[in-house]
A and B are shown apart, each in its own frame.
Chain A
Amino acid sequence: MSEPMVTLEGVGKTFASRALVRTRSFALSDVDMVVNKGEIVGILGESGSGKSTVANIITRLLKHDAGTYRFKGRDVTGYSKAELMAFKSDVQIVFQDPYGSLNPRATIRNIVRESLIIHRPDLTRAQQDDRVSELMFEVGLGGQDIDRYPHEFSGGQRQRIAIARAMAVEPELLVCDEPLSSLDVSIQAQVLELFTRLIRDHDLTMVFITHDLNVARLLCDRVYVMFQGRVVESGAAREVLNNPQQEYTASLLEAVY
């Protein structure tokens, strides 16, 4: 039995708004989740179900305010500075919108190299450049001029750049938050193929957030179905998506074309 990479136990998150009246909204409550090494775990649900909040907590872009989150057996809230640095290179994220997630004023070279500068100070500049070219080749953008800016690339190419940036530091866990949904169908299939290749070549562990149940069925080993900040069903992807036990999951499946 391999040791779980990510363990969420009773994790909750509330957002407070102090606009006129103090209100608190429960974005997540009592979420239990396990991601084992080498697994592709899907998080499914409608918008507002809390799936992106889970992604942000797993990558520590947000702090959870209830429950515990252990990464490779260690509680993330107790990290020392060095441990936090290591965590940040072990866990990378690919966002939904490749237009908003790349700095428009940085060249592709600098976007992909930035994390190398931070996490791999042992590399010389030439070595970093080699690594960048290698990554661009790996995501299918070999031969492209990397001293250009994001706006000079198409949506599909940008998403590949975002993936190259995430893969630069050789992460153990890749969190993908709806990485296909802003792409055209023919490009979606290309990026899906890229993901399957990366998973195969790098033994990646992946958290894949999607509302597309058909994509989840193809890609994921296990899935969690979320509704209103709670996990309503989980299990092997094939079982949950072919034979859902919960009414909510069944209703999601019914809506799929």
Chain B
Amino acid sequence: MSVRDDPLLRLDRVSVALRQGGREMVSGVSLSVGRRELFGIVGESGSGKTLFTRTVFGLHDDAVVSGGEVTFDGRTMPAKSHHTEMKRLLGKRIGFIPQDPFSSLNPSMRVGAQITEALYLARGLSPKSREARDAAIAVLAEVGIPEPDIAFRQFPDQFSGGMRQRIVIAIVLAQEPELLIADEPTTALDASTQRLIVDLIVERSRTRGLSVILISHNLELLRQSMDRIGVLYSGQFLNLFQADQLAHQEVHPYTQALFDCIPTKDKTLADIRPIPGEPAGAGFGLAGCSFADRCAFAKDRCCATPLPINDAGQARFSACIIGKGA
């Protein structure tokens, strides 16, 4: 179990706005990710989940953290210098696994060189050294690449999508990060490879004691593999709950509706209840709950009352003002 119980990452009322025009896209996200915790962020397309995470971790140049505080390992970054400070951590203490393994690897560089480059940048190992080579081959073996010493000399296009994503994970693990961010790491892959990759991320993180933030639109995937899940909808942070409680405890109406509309192993056609209407995009700056117009429980005041924020940084949170899932 964790040696220290202060969270590795804490977000306090973090908002993200576009650099140009300053339109606020995601607002008021308060959550913390513990050491060794696997944290999932779920949301439909346009909910702001990718924009939010990329901006918070300094990967986005068009958007900035416009409010709130980001605290990593006890060090609070003020909004002003957040971007530069985060950039310093990226690739060292924070590793990022992008969506698409076809465009994230350099096609003209051997797999081995891409890993030793990461080893040099993160840990200062000389790229041509025996030590770097051995470490790279070890990490390739760790992610399940067959014949890692041959793979070391191959180019990315000699691998399938699933294998490439493993190589990307190897590069990230080589940096020995404390926090792993994975943005839909399986959407570009075949359905049958998806589970292997997610399982690999989970298993490696558990073994190495990493914290993980996994972004996905697949609630069922997150429910089965993560510890806790945060829900974004139209740029609002609606819900935060223990993954294994989803089927047993009351959650935010949106989370419940999302859960009720995915076909799973033990559901029949009658169990599938579509959510009426279309998901609203992020960035409309609504005061009230943006899910109100699709919600079965909505009352008049839902649209007008400002959305509650997880101020106390609790482990469980529901932004529903009529008390659902709180």
Contact = CB atoms under 8 A, between A and B. Distances in A.
For the complex, would chain A's binding face be called helix, strand, loop or mixed by DSSP majority? helix
Given A156-B278, A192-B274, A212 B263 contact: yes
Given A218-B272, A257-B224, A186 B279 contact: yes
A192 B264 contact: no
Interface in B265-291: 265, 267-269, 272-276, 278-279
Interface in B239-281: 257-258, 261-265, 267-269, 272-276, 278-279
A46 B194 CA distance: 11
B227 interface: no
Interface in A130-167: 154, 156-157
Contact of B191 (A186, A188, A189, A211): A211
A219 B275 CA distance: 19
A218 B191 contact: no
Contacts of B267: 214, 218
Interface in A158-185: 184-185
Interface string A234-257: 000000000000000001101111
Interface string B274-312: 111011000000000000000000000000000000000
B179 interface: no
Interface in B191-234: 191-196, 217-221, 224
B62 interface: no
A255 B198 CA distance: 10
B190 A218 contact: no
B44 interface: yes
A177 B273 CA distance: 23
Nearest to A157: B278
Contacts of A156: 278
Contacts of B45: 184
A217 interface: yes
Given A255-B195, A256-B265, A186 B272 contact: no
- Secondary structure class of chain B's binding surface, majority of residues: loop
A215 B195 CA distance: 17
B278 A218 contact: no
B219 A185 contact: yes
Which of the four size classes fits the interface of chain A?
20 to 34
A127 interface: no
B273 A212 contact: no
A193 B272 contact: yes
B44 A218 contact: no
Contacts of B220: 257
A46 B192 CA distance: 7
Interface string A63-100: 00000000000000000000000000000000000000
Most chain A CB within 10 A, of B195, B219, B261, B269, is at B261
A189 B261 contact: yes
A196 interface: yes
B263 A217 contact: yes
Contact of B194 (A157, A214, A255): A255
A256 B192 CA distance: 7
Contacts of A14: none
A23 B69 CA distance: 59
Contacts of B265: 214, 217, 256
A251 B272 CA distance: 25
A143 to B, nearest CB: 14
Counting chain A CB atoms within 10 Å of each CB, the highest count among B45, B221, B257, B278 belongs to B278
Interface of B: 44-45, 190-196, 217-221, 224, 257-258, 261-265, 267-269, 272-276, 278-279
20 contacts: A157-B278, A184-B45, A185-B218, A185-B219, A185-B262, A186-B261, A189-B262, A189-B272, A189-B273, A214-B264, A219-B269, A252-B191, A252-B192, A255-B191, A255-B193, A255-B196, A256-B265, A257-B220, A257-B221, A257-B224
What are the 9 A-B residue pairs with the smallest beta carbon separation, nearest first? A189-B261, A189-B274, A214-B263, A190-B274, A255-B192, A186-B275, A255-B195, A257-B220, A184-B44
Given A193-B272, A212-B191, A257-B224, 7 more contacts: A187-B278, A187-B279, A189-B261, A192-B263, A219-B269, A254-B195, A257-B221
